[in-house]
Chains A and B, each alone.
Chain A
Amino acid sequence: MRYFPLVWAALWRKPLRTILTFLAAVAAFTLFGLTIGLNATYAGMLARARADRVYINPHFLEFGFLTRAQRDQVARMAEVREIGVSDFFLGYYRDPKNEVVPWFMDQGMRRAYPELPLTPAQWDQLQANPSGVFLDNRTAARLRLKAGDNMPVMTSAPSRRDGSSLWPFHVLGVVENPPWARGGLTLANYDFYEQARPLAQAGHVGQLTILLKDPTRAAAFTDQIDRTFASSPNPTFAVTDKATQQNGAIARFNIPLVTRGVSAAGLFMILFLIANTIAQSVRERVAEFAVLKTLGFSDLGVMTLVFVEAAFPCLLGALVGFGIAMALASKIAGLGALQKMAVAPPTLSLGVLTVALVFAALVAFASAAMPAWRIRRLDIATALRR
């Protein structure tokens, strides 16, 4: 602490230089916060993926299908704890721009997909109202719908058993949007779908959601399922929840690569700037350091002075940059473009702040190392003579 007045004086010797260096650090750490925060978001999604969950899809997502018999066969397997059936189609509400993807779920999904934001009472309500749907608040806001509204949905395929392509849903209620479903949710009744679609498709199953008794068996279980049905009329493509999460935005944008590249470029930019600032500052004050050494400051002491002088704009810049990143993240979370691309906003957690501060300290250390070493080796007599 006794060094502080010295560092403070050094920083304000050339205020413009200090302020500009600090501002550049703020810019770099704003980006650092956003990019590392985005990484944290996706790491969180991966971490939330349930190790005991497996999805069984038809090998051909669109024209393929599974059957009721396959569902029953899988349900009897010893590894299976819970099994749910779900399906969806693409449609629109009033205008082709208002895309709607009703997600039809049978009652097995209650336990196989417990993250669904429905209370037991709402599940009962959904079961009792075949054409009812629950919307999340995001979808409800987008379509300007509320509980009690009718929600006719048009599709081009599949049409209904009676030949019509209009599905007369009505909104039972609006539920909170869960962070894992940024694109929104339209939760519908599977029995209604099963009974309304063309007879030729009756008994077809879109997707099976399974909870296993033993999570460590998930990968082996997917292989086993695919082998079992490989030469059946309805081959399967089973994936673990983990792989599915990986396959989302992470695979689409290769988020870790992009974010690491951007944050590294930002740090590289300020590394040069801070190294130069501190080198200049030290060069201008060689005589001052010589005096300090004459007064009995240890080598370590003067080196610390240099490091702290470099660390100050870095750490403060990291803090302010993190704050700006937080403000920006909450702003962009609501952007339609981001939701359309199913990109989640960055998570500016305490962990991300810690990483930012550690990197700020590393940048300061790396940029101050050379000048600090120079001051340590400084020959007092020569320096004072100048």
Chain B
Amino acid sequence: MNALRQIAAVTGLSLRNLPSRLGPSLVIVAGMAAAIGVLIAILSLAAGYAELQRRTGDPERAIILPQTADTEGAGAISRGVLGDIIAMPGIARDKDGAGLADPEYVSILLANRRPAGRAPGLATLRGMVRKGLAVRPELKIVAGRMFLPGARELIVGIALQPEFRGFEVGDKVIMQDGQWPIVGSFTTGGDVLEGQIIGDAATLMSAAKRNAFNSVIVRLDGPNGLKALQQALAARPRLAVRAERQSEYYERTSQDTAGFFHAVAYAVGGIMALGALFGALNTMYSAVGARTQEIATLRALGFGGTAVAVSVIAESILLALAGALIGIGLAWALFNGQSYAFGEVLFHLAVSPALVAVGLAWALAVALLGGILPAIRAARLPVVDALRAT
């Protein structure tokens, strides 16, 4: 009999007998469901956060920051140098030749979370230039209208509204120089800005008595735009600013947090998986024990040890994958799309296809580790003794 047919026959037999070993089999299923569910749930936090940053960072845009500032929050670019910066080569221009640039002002304000009684949280307040909106074509008003240039008006991202109280269209926000109405709400298709408040940069800066922008966001002129811009800026050291691809900026600034989420997920998932592995070993040893006579009979009939061993591992894999799928399904049902507020960054947890693959790969690894020793025992079972032991 050829080896593959042997394996198929023995595996089929062992799987048909599975219902009689339901209890022990459930240990693997439940263990893997819990371990993989926890792993995927925490990873969905990392994935959602990374996805948000990825959507915000557009490789066709660059962020210009002072050389001394690592993040836009720490940046200060005076009005005086703005014209020089926007005139640089490498920046895309509109039909009138004006550079597609958005000098931005970024600040943070305290806001009351929903529901009432929760501790207050931080919200980002971003000032943009009305003309600069051309740099961010993904920003679309969904209710009310856009703020007017020079007006003391604000628009609010749709991700911010469910998290904080007092940010509906028509509400008024206390500002340094009086109350500013919220005239509209906007979407950006799910990026960082959607959890923020936006107003006219010049008006906000005069309210804040600030004279410096935090950063300049520019649209790059073709694939070589960034290089041209960086070279031009390097040739003007007195401007003391540098350009970074926006996608790289968000990747860099989110590294610490993303790395932390991953570390927690793999540490917790690893300990859980270890526990599930001990459970799987226990179950597979007892499965081999319960099948002693069956295995001995098969060996006496001429089935090879390999076929028997493979059937044990196949059973372990099948049960582990079933458990992992349940765990992934639960994580998906409970967490996918849930909104999460990490400081002032609002995002949605995401159980992505890549995470499903990670979960299944972990389950496979645990199943192999948990099946291999019992499989070796099954293959080495002394046939005569086993048949005698009734």
A337 interface residue per 8 A CB criterion: yes
CB neighbours (8 Å) of A92 from chain B are 68
- Interfacial chain B residues near A58, Cβ < 8 Å: 176
Say yes or no for B150: interface residue by CB 8 A criterion: no
Q: A59-B174, A262-B268, A265-B38 are in contact. Are A20 and B279 (CB under 8 A)?
A: yes
Q: Could you tell me if B74 and A59 are in contact, using CB atoms closer than 8 angstroms?
A: no
Q: Name which residue of chain A comes closest to B175, CB basis.
A: A60
Q: Are B176 and A27 in contact (CB under 8 A)?
A: no
B68 touches A156 (CB 8 A): yes
Contact present for B120 and A239 (CB under 8 Å): yes
Q: Which of B24, B107, B120, B282 contacts A247 (CB 8 A)?
A: B120
Contacting pair B275 A230 (CB below 8 A): no
| A90 within 8 A of partner (CB) | yes
Give B69's nearest chain A residue, CB to CB: A156
B205 (CB) vs chain A CBs: closest residue: A63
A247 to B113: give the CA distance in the assembly, Å.
10
Q: Do residues A243 and B120 form an inter-chain contact, with CB atoms below 8 A?
A: yes
The verdict on A63 contacting B208 (CB below 8 Å), with A24-B275, A265-B272, A266-B34 known, is yes
A150 surroundings in chain B (CB, below 8 A):
none
- Tell me if A337 and B263 are in contact (CB < 8 A): yes
Q: How far is the CB of A286 from chain B (nearest CB, A)?
A: 16
B275 and A268 form a contact (CB under 8 A): no
Would you call A2 an interface residue if the criterion is a C-beta within 8 Å of the partner chain's C-beta atoms?
A: no
Which of these, B74, B210, B279, contacts A156 with CB under 8 Å? B74
Interface segment among A70-78, A186-194, A269-277, A354-362: the answer is A269-277
- The DSSP consensus for interface residues of chain B is helix
Instruction: Pick from B35, B109, B271, B272: contact of A59, CB below 8 A.
Output: B109
Asked if A273 contacts B279 (CB within 8 A), the reply is: yes
A61-B271 contact in complex given A269-B279, A341-B256, C-beta closer than 8 Å:
no
A61 in contact with B122 given A233-B176, A269-B275 (CB within 8 Å) = yes
Question: Is B119 close to A, CB under 8 A?
Answer: yes
B176→A23 contact, CB < 8 A: no
Chain B residues with CB below 8 A from A28, complex form: 275
Q: Which residues of B contact A341 (CB under 8 A)?
A: 256-257, 260
Contacts of A280 in B (CB 8 A): 23-24, 286
- Which of B70, B125, B174, B281 lies at the interface centre, i.e. has the most chain A CB atoms within 10 A of its CB? B174
A261 contact set on B, CB distance < 8 A: 38, 41
Q: Is there contact, CB below 8 Å, between A27 and B271?
A: yes
Chain A residues, CB < 8 A from B70: 96-97
A386 CB → nearest B CB, Å: 14
Q: Which residue of B lies closest to A337 (CB)?
A: B260
Q: Is the CB of B276 within 8 A of A17?
A: no
Chain A residue with the shortest CB-CB distance to B110: A237
Q: Judge whether B27 and A27 touch: CB under 8 Å.
A: no
Which residues from chain A contact B209 at a C-beta distance below 8 Å?
A: 63, 200
Residues of A within 8 Å of B119, CB to CB, are: 239, 243-244, 246-247, 251
A92, B76: Cα distance in complex, Å: 15
Q: Check: A304 CB closer than 8 A to any chain B CB.
A: no
Do B176 and A64 have beta carbons less than 8 Å apart? yes
Residue B181 interfacial (CB < 8 Å)? no
From A97, A235, A265, A268, contact of B176 by CB (8 A): A235
Question: How extensive is the interface on chain A, given as a class?
Answer: 35 or more
B275's nearest neighbour on chain A, judged by CB, is: A27
Q: Is residue A234 contacting chain B, with contact meaning CB distance below 8 A?
A: yes
How far is it, in angstroms, between the C-alpha of A29 and the C-alpha of B2 when the chains are bound?
47
Query: Is the CB–CB distance between A27 and B274 below 8 Å?
Result: yes
Residues of A with C-beta under 8 A to B279 = 20, 24, 269-270, 272-273
Chain B residues 72 to 113 lying within 8 A of chain A, measured CB to CB, are 73-76, 107-110, 113
- Tell me if B184 is interfacial: C-beta within 8 Å of chain A: no
In contact, B343 and A252 (Cβ under 8 angstroms): yes
The reply to whether the CB of A279 lies closer than 8 angstroms to some CB of chain B is: yes
A17–B286 CB distance below 8 A: yes
Q: Are A247 and B121 in contact (CB under 8 A)?
A: yes
Q: Does B144 contact A (CB under 8 A)?
A: no
Docked-complex contact A268 and B263, CB < 8 angstroms: no
* A246 partner residues in chain B, CB cutoff 8 A: 118-119
B207 CB–A CB distance under 8 Å: yes
Smallest Cβ-Cβ distance to B279: which chain A residue: A273
- B273, closest chain A residue (CB): A27
Cβ of A209 under 8 Å from chain B: no
Give the chain A neighbours of B365 by CB distance below 8 A.
Answer: none
Chain A residues at the B interface, C-beta cutoff of 8 Å: 16-17, 20-21, 23-28, 30-31, 57-64, 90, 92, 96-97, 154, 156-157, 165, 200, 230, 233-235, 237, 239, 243-244, 246-247, 251-254, 258, 261-262, 265-266, 268-273, 276-277, 279-280, 337-338, 340-341, 343
* 8 nearest A-B pairs in the assembled complex, by CB-CB distance: A63-B208, A27-B275, A24-B278, A247-B119, A272-B30, A269-B34, A246-B119, A243-B119
10 A-B pairs (CB sep. < 8 Å): A20-B282, A31-B272, A59-B109, A233-B176, A233-B177, A251-B118, A251-B341, A262-B268, A265-B38, A272-B26
Question: 8 new A-B pairs (CB below 8 Å) besides A239-B119, A265-B37?
Answer: A90-B73, A156-B75, A247-B119, A269-B34, A269-B35, A276-B283, A279-B23, A337-B263
B contact set with A: CB distance below 8 Å: 23-24, 26-27, 30-31, 34-35, 37-38, 41-42, 66, 68-70, 73-76, 107-110, 113, 118-122, 125, 174-177, 204, 207-210, 212, 256-257, 259-260, 263, 268, 271-272, 274-276, 278-279, 281-283, 285-286, 340-343
